[in-house]
């Protein structure tokens, strides 16, 4: 027998053996994939997400490498530095990167007590500026040091702006949050909006979408600062809490599902975008409440994000991390409402956790016709939407477009004196 015939027989034999192995390999791989899919689906199913072991959830989402532990649950910046911060500007507070954008060293250690004393004792103006700069940067590293038993259940979150507000108005806003928090045993988390500029793709805070994006960056940092808190309420700086005796439980959480629907305080079955097929769930529906035809709806693309509440859970973390992901932010979004509607449209686990409530519950808006103490106007006669205008006894008043109208300072001064303490 020739050498070529021997080689051909060996090749044929190996080929037959290989074809016998292939089905076994295919079955084995399929079985492994099936077992893996079952394992992961059982872990990450919606039933188990709420009780995941902590090792699956990152412990921190801080923007900085270092933290400054604080004993008080009232975390806010040094407000009296506002004029100095405005004077030195962003060029001094941050460093210019190679692309011309502002950057910050997230690994910079906070000032030690010795360094603080040295800078304060110096007569050099540069040292004074350096001290104020470091106070500004170090504030973002502050976290609450209390354990789960000491931690407040609810935290009020607010951004202040040293460019657009006067010092007196900023003091009123922060003091308003502190007064309410102390009355209700809540926490407070206040930061300068400018602190987040290095973490934005587009660093122009004059654009509304950038102002709104910072709110969601801020919420994630608040959850990092108060890891044991359950509820986080973001309230815009153009707002005042008017009744310090009215808790969020009384205003929202203690209201029954039936009362929410009968009093038209909630939007059910709302489209993600106008006329969309995908809608919010009817997850608080009760048979003895009104029919759907009588319940109003609100497209998510028209959401007002000046006042909203987030629960400190895996869904909120996922939502905040998702919309703050660099790849996601690089898309040319036109508004934060477009960002949110996209997230809810493509992620049913997120929209399942969403509840849209009437504007009046968390932030009745100022209307010069209806919001004065002497007003006798009838909201029904003035048209749709006027029921959400502020009236005395409402929890919150917010001043829409006051920055454009340049009325924020005067309105804050006027209504601050009317706060019910």
Residue found by looking up tokens 């507070």 in the block: 93
Could you give the 3-state DSSP secondary structure of residue 13? helix
**What does the alpha-carbon distance between residue 156 and residue 180 come to, in Å, rounded to a whole number?**
9
Could you give the 3-state DSSP secondary structure of residue 384? coil
Q: What are the structure tokens assigned to 305, written together?
A: 């994000």
Cα 138 to Cα 76, 162, 412, distances in angstroms: 12, 17, 29
- The total of structural domains in the chain comes to 1
Q: Buried b / exposed e across 90-105, counting CB within 10 Å, b at 16+?
A: eeebbeeeeeeebebe
Q: Is residue 23 part of a domain?
A: no
Q: Count CA within 13 A, CB hemisphere, residue 68.
A: 17
Residue found by looking up tokens 């040293």 in the block: 162
Residue found by looking up tokens 């960002």 in the block: 339
Q: Is residue 1 part of a domain?
A: no
Q: What is the CATH number of the domain that holds 138?
A: 3.90.550.10
pLDDT per residue over 156-205, tens digit each? 999 999 999 899 999 999 999 999 999 999 999 999 999 999 999 899 99
Q: Is residue 38 part of a domain?
A: no
Q: Buried b / exposed e across 252-285, counting CB within 10 Å, b at 16+?
A: beebeeeebbeeeebbbebbbbeeeeebbeeeeb
DSSP code for 89: -
pTM here? 0.82
pLDDT per residue over 344-369, tens digit each? 888 888 888 888 888 899 999 999 88
Q: Is residue 17 part of a domain?
A: no
Q: Is residue 138 part of a domain?
A: yes
Percentage above 90 pLDDT, the chain: 50
**What does the alpha-carbon distance between residue 233 and residue 218 come to, in Å, rounded to a whole number?**
11
State how far Cα 389 lies from the chain centre. 24
Q: Which domain holds residue 343?
A: 68-370+384-417
Which residue has better confidence, 23 or 124?
124
Per the CB < 8 A criterion, the answer to whether 267 and 357 are in contact is yes
Q: Where residue 48 falls among pLDDT bands split at 50, 70, 90?
A: very low
Q: Is residue 10 part of a domain?
A: no
Q: Is residue 37 part of a domain?
A: no
**What does the alpha-carbon distance between residue 60 and residue 220 come to, in Å, rounded to a whole number?**
10
**What does the alpha-carbon distance between residue 185 and residue 153 come to, in Å, rounded to a whole number?**
8
Q: Is residue 377 part of a domain?
A: no
């Amino acid at each position: 027998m020739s050498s070529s015939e021997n080689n051909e027989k060996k090749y044929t034999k190996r080929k037959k053996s290989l074809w016998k192995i292939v089905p076994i390999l295919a079955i084995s791989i399929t079985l492994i994939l099936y077992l893996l899919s079952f394992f992961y689906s059982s872990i990450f199913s919606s039933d188990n997400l709420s009780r995941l072991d902590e090792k699956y959830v990152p412990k921190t989402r801080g923007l900085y490498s270092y933290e400054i532990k604080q004993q008080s649950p009232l975390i806010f910046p040094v407000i009296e530095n506002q004029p100095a911060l405005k004077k030195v500007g962003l060029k001094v507070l941050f460093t210019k990167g190679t692309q011309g954008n502002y950057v910050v060293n997230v690994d910079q250690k906070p000032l030690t007590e010795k360094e603080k004393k040295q800078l304060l004792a110096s007569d050099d103006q540069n040292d004074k500026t350096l001290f104020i700069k470091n106070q500004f940067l170090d504030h973002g590293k502050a976290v609450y040091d209390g354990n789960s038993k000491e931690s407040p259940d609810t935290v009020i979150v607010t951004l202040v702006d040293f460019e657009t507000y006067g010092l007196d108005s900023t003091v009123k806003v922060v003091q308003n949050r502190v007064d309410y928090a102390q009355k209700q045993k809540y926490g407070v988390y206040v930061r300068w909006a400018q602190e987040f500029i290095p973490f934005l793709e587009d660093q122009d805070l004059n654009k509304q979408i950038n102002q709104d994006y910072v709110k969601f960056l801020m919420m994630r940092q608040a959850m990092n600062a108060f890891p044991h808190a359950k509820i986080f309420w973001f309230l815009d700086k153009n707002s005042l809490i008017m009744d310090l005796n009215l808790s969020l439980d009384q205003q929202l959480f203690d209201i029954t599902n039936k009362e929410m629907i009968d009093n038209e305080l909630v939007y059910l079955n709302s489209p993600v975008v106008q006329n969309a097929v995908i809608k919010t769930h009817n997850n608080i529906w009760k048979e003895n409440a009104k029919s759907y035809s009588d319940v109003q709806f609100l497209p998510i693309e028209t959401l007002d994000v000046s006042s909203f509440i987030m629960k400190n859970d895996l869904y909120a973390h996922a939502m905040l991390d998702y919309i703050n992901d660099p790849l996601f932010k690089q898309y040319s979004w036109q508004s934060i409402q477009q960002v949110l509607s996209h997230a809810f449209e493509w992620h049913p686990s997120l929209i399942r956790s969403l509840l849209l409530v009437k504007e009046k519950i968390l932030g009745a808006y100022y209307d010069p016709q209806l919001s004065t103490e002497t007003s006798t106007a009838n909201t029904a006669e003035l048209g749709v939407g006027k029921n959400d205008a502020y009236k005395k006894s409402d929890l919150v008043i917010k001043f829409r477009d006051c920055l454009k109208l340049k009325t924020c300072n005067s309105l804050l001064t006027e209504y601050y004196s009317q706060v019910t303490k």
